Amino acid sequence: MLTATVSSYEGLLVQRFFLGFSLMIALFWKREEQPLRFSIWYMSQGLGGFLGPIMVYGIGHIHGDLSPRNTNT
């Protein structure tokens, strides 16, 4: 899905690198170790999707120098 957002060749290389993560798992770990590595990878994606919005919500409620509504710069 993110291929459409890439605007440079370098960005495309980075995006393709992460798409090839499953191939890297298959190359560097034994067959018995691969299910654990895949499950950790997919679990971390779900965890990031859960924690990311919570962090954004917290950042949006900062009432100090880091506030996004602070225009005194």
User: Read out DSSP for the chain?
Assistant: -GGGG--SHHHHHHHHHHHTHHHHHHHHS-TTTHHHHHHHHHHHHHHHHHHHHHHHHHHHT--STT-TT----
Q: Are 41 and 21 in contact (CB under 8 A)?
A: yes
Each domain of the chain, given as residue ranges in start order, spans 2-60
Residue-level pLDDT, tens digit, the chain, 73 residues: 667 888 888 888 888 887 777 677 778 888 888 888 888 888 888 888 888 899 888 888 877 776 556 555 5
Q: What is the pTM of this model?
A: 0.44
User: Measured between alpha carbons, how far is 27 from 31 in angstroms, rounded to an integer?
Assistant: 9
